Structure formats: structure tokens, C-alpha cells
Amino acid sequence: MDFNFSKSEEVIQKVAREFAEKEVAPLAEEIDREGRYPFETFDKMVKCGFTGIAVPVEYGGSGGDDITKIIVISEIAKKCGATAAILSIHAVFVQTVLKFGSEEQKQKYLPLVTSGGKKTAFALTEPNAGSDAATVKTTAVLEGDEYVLNGTKCFITGGNVADYVVVFASTDPSKGVKGLSAIIVPTSTPGFSVGKIENKMGIRASQTAEIIFDNCRVPKKNLVGKEGQGFKIAMIGLDGARIGVAAQALGLAEGALEESVSYMKERVQFGKPIAALQGLQWYIAEMATKIECARWMIYRAAYLKISGQPFTKEAAMAKLNASETASFVTNRALQIHGGYGYMKDYPLERMVRDAKITEIYEGTSEIHKVVISRAVLG
């Protein structure tokens, strides 16, 4: 058993950390306040190859695997949960095309979305279909060589900035989830439009939008996999996405711990740094222990995925635990900062808000408990 990073992974961590400190941290407060999508940071992430992680070089990717993905997402999340979310969700589209796309689709789309700077979204959720994918109302009707899409998707991260969206629509409403299909829709297609842009509690810079399909026609060859495979593709995509969200949660927790440690050494009360107070020392011990636990659960789930073993249960556990850890640790960190933590001059209140979403999206904690208990009880 070896818990060490390879030399490349060590260097990637160092570079991602430097990138997060120099490029991500200075914008974090502003893009949160304004709810502004950080286009400039996305472009820089493309140049560094962050958008091509775990995609083979021949498709324009960066190589590497889920371990690389965890390293980069968590380092960025230490400084900005929203930027990490953008990267993590972009990867879901990319991995869906890589895993289920035809050779033609891979050659066409992967270079554009890994190193070509194009943005993506993953559109499953609808107003009445959140955790219950069987109630998807969006339809895709085959007419000649084209699918005609109609319907509305909501809460789509990056839906308003994406160049390509993988849409889960029903090609056979009579079959429920078995009638779902995954279709790539370029957002330049007539009939595609952006509706409401949500005003969110956290990860405000990763804009979340309603997207509308009104007789939106795309070529039949944009179907990913086969008709009726949509649910399976979505669920496998979300299995992988859980690792990304868990990495985001891990980074938020690690960032909050780092902020707390430096604050506790500087802040003097009763004539000594508050790091000398045992009550707060115990907070730090709890926070650090939970982070350690979260970290290795995530890396183990990634290891299982990379080595081709079943990982659904472990990814669900890692995501459930990491997101609860992120909420616990960021709240404790805010408490350690006292009144300053509650002010927007410090990043803690933003981290608390950014952490909360990790317990909700890409499957709520409750859904993850369903997944885990099914796996355990059989």
C-alpha cells in the first residue's frame, strides 16, 4: 500500500497551488459579490491543461487521471469554491463524451472542450425531475436525420456560458428512465435559449441557469451512445462527478483550516495568541482529523475507479463524507474567526456558503445514503 504521490503529481499539486494563489484567490471575493463568471480564469485553466485532465493526449487532453483531477480541483477550491465547481462540472461533460461518445464525437468535441477553450454543461435536472430522473419531461423526437428537442432544464451550472450541452431528453416517454437519451446540443443551435439565471447562496460565480429547448434541431449523430441509454450514462457520469464534488469539498475544508491556523497564531486575546487556547485547539484537532478522513476516502474511490474496480458505493461515501466535512470545517473556521469571520472582509462566510452546495448538488446527501445503503444491504 502506497499513499504517496508520484513525482508528476507532486509537481502538479505545486503548480495548481501556485495557480490558485496567484490567479484564483485575487478574484474570489469579487466574482462572488458580483456573481460574475470568471471567463479570464477559465481561459487560464485551459492553457494549463486543467480542462483536459483524464483525457488522452490524442484527443487534445492533458493525460493524467482522477488523482490529478482531485489534486487540481481541491487546490483551486481552497481559494474559490465557484472556480473549482466550474472545473469539476466541465469535467462531467468531457468524461461523458470520452466514455460513451462515438469515435467521431470524441475526435470532434474533445479537442474543443479540453484544449480549445469551449465551455460545457450537463443538463439533467428539470423543475420536476431532480433526484428522480424518471420524470424528465424534455423530449427529443427523431424527424428524419434530426432530433427535435423541446423542454426546459433548470439549475444547469454554466448553462448560460456553455458552447455545448449534453442534454438528457426522453426519446420514448412511454419507457420512463429507459426512454432517456443523451444528446449533444451546441448552444448556437436555433431554438436553444437561456432563461432565468439563478441568484444563489454560494458558488455564485459558477452561474446556474435555466435552459430552454424550443424546436431545437440537432443532427441524429449527436446522440451519445444509444437511444434509451441516457439514464445509465447520466448515472455513470454522476459517479465520476461525485469524486469531483468531493474534491471541491475537500479543498474548501482544507482552505478553511489553513485560514484558521494562520488566524489563530496571529490573533491575540488575553495577552496571547488564541492558538494557545485549548478550546480552539480542540476545534483544530477535530477539523484536521475530519479532513484527513475525507481526503483518503476520496483518493481511495479514485483509485478504485482508475483501476477499473466498482466504485459507486465508495464514491458516494466519499462525497457524502467530504461535503459534510466541508460544512463542519468551514462553520468551525468561521466560529474561530469570531466577528471577523462573519464579515465579508474575510473569506470564511463565503466558504460556508460555498460548502453548503456540496451537500446538495450532484446528488444530495440523502440520495447518497440511498446509494450507500442499497450497496450495503444488497
Instruction: Give the residues lining the site for other proteins (CB under 8 A).
Output: 6-8, 11-12, 15, 18-19, 47-50, 52-53, 57, 61-64, 68, 72
CB atoms within 10 A of CB 272: 9
In angstroms, the CA 46 to CA 371 distance is 34
In angstroms, the CA 215 to CA 344 distance is 44
Of residues 45 and 257, the one with the C-beta less far from other proteins? 45
Of 210, 259, 324, 362, the catalytic one is 362
- Rounded least distance, CB 43 to other proteins, Å: 13
- Rounded least distance, CB 351 to other proteins, Å: 25
- Rounded least distance, CB 22 to other proteins, Å: 9
Of residues 13 and 365, the one with the C-beta less far from other proteins? 13
Q: Name the pairing type of β-strands 164-170 and 180-186.
A: antiparallel
Of residues 196 and 265, the one with the C-beta less far from other proteins? 265
CB 370 within 8 A of CB 338: no
Of residues 47 and 374, the one with the C-beta less far from other proteins? 47
Q: In terms of Cα–Cα distance, which of 56, 47, 46, 54 is closest to 71?
A: 54
Q: In terms of Cα–Cα distance, which of 159, 167, 169, 165 is closest to 135?
A: 169
User: Pseudo-torsion of CA 174, 176, 181, 187, nearest 10°?
Assistant: 100
Of residues 12 and 241, the one with the C-beta less far from other proteins? 12
- Grid coordinates given for 352: 460556508
362 tagged catalytic: yes
CB 23 within 8 A of CB 80: no
- Rounded least distance, CB 38 to other proteins, Å: 16
Distances 243 to 98, 167, 171, 302, 313 between C-alpha atoms, Å: 17, 21, 29, 7, 11
Q: In terms of Cα–Cα distance, which of 61, 43, 68, 153 is closest to 109?
A: 61
Of residues 57 and 306, the one with the C-beta less far from other proteins? 57
- Rounded least distance, CB 302 to other proteins, Å: 16
- Rounded least distance, CB 7 to other proteins, Å: 5
In angstroms, the CA 36 to CA 349 distance is 18
- Grid coordinates given for 237: 457520469
In angstroms, the CA 164 to CA 113 distance is 9
Number of H helices, E strands in the chain: 12, 10
Which residue numbers are catalytic? Answer: 362
